Amino acid sequence: MRKKIVRRKNTIIRKPRKKKSFFSGLIFRLGIGLLILCTVCAVAYHYRMGLAYYFSFKSNHISAAEAEDKRISDVRNYQVLEKSEGKVIGIDVSEYQDEIDWSKVGTLEDKYPVQFVFIRATVGDDRKDKRFDENWRKAKNNKIIRGAYHYYRPNENSLDQAALFIKTVRLRKGDLPPVLDIEKLPENQSLDRLKIGLKRWLIAVEAHYQVKPIIYTGEKYYEDFLKEEFGDYLFWIANYNFYREEVDKDWLFWQFTEKASLDGIKGNVDVNIYNGDLQQLQYITVE
């Protein structure tokens, strides 16, 4: 007769769960809430001047739909301008601003005079900005230091682009050096070919005007592609980062916003800071 095998069941001893303390959970939540509150207060204190300005003067001038985006831009713009005391403020325009009433273009936020303007002259190898002649003439009449820039198309002949700019722009004494605006990467050529094209444009324009051009680009484009090989040139850098409030020491101009309001211009306009005072700005103009 076979013996019946009896298998012993393993007894699993479960440890009793510790009951979560109501007070420990409450303290944790209060700690998180306090941390968030401190962060908000710190940011509000840092931007106190801009916030005070905005809520005092701006809150009744914009629609509800635009309020949040405009509020953030206004606060930062005011903060940057406050921190740039002594530096020269300017704008840049093109046909996208439509017709500008230059007689009304005077000060930003009723405090910061607009003392220079960069005006788009040409695009690629075949297009002149529709408002260039008008803007070029009226800016001079309004006693604003003016400069012209060319929007470079990577996939078009660089010397043809330079020839179009030279044909379009006549610089006079007191004007700013010509500007090459490069923002796009090439589609049908290598980066090496792009750089060769940029250099050809710069050399041709410098030979004609007898003044070294300025290069405009975004900060990342500058860092990744241009900083090393074009170190002999001065740069105008676009950077709209909310946390940047002062111009970098290596930048000649800083375009810090594309969302500013200015009398005489419909809609938004770009605002720039020259990394120096008015006398220094006049020093770099065409003689």
**92: annotated active-site residue:** yes
Region of 135 please: left (phi>0), alpha (psi -120 to 50) or beta.
alpha
Write the single-letter amino acid at 174.
Answer: G
Among candidate residues 92, 129, 175, 219, the one labeled active-site is: 92
**192: annotated active-site residue:** no
Q: How far is CA 96 from the centre of its chain?
A: 17
Among candidate residues 68, 69, 101, 183, the one labeled active-site is: 183
Q: How far is CA 56 from the centre of its chain?
A: 26
Secondary structure E strands in 51-199: 88-93, 107-108, 112-123, 127-128, 145-151, 179-181
Q: How far apart are CA 77 and CA 218, in angstroms?
A: 18
**Burial letters 121-159, b for 16+ CB under 10 A, else e:** bbbbbeebbebbeebbebbbebebbbbbbbbbbbeeebe
What sign does the CA torsion over 258, 173, 247, 196 have?
A: positive
Q: How far apart are CA 208 and CA 43, in angstroms?
A: 50
Taking the CA atoms of the chain, what radius of gyration do you get in angstroms? 29
Q: Residues with catalytic annotation?
A: 92, 183
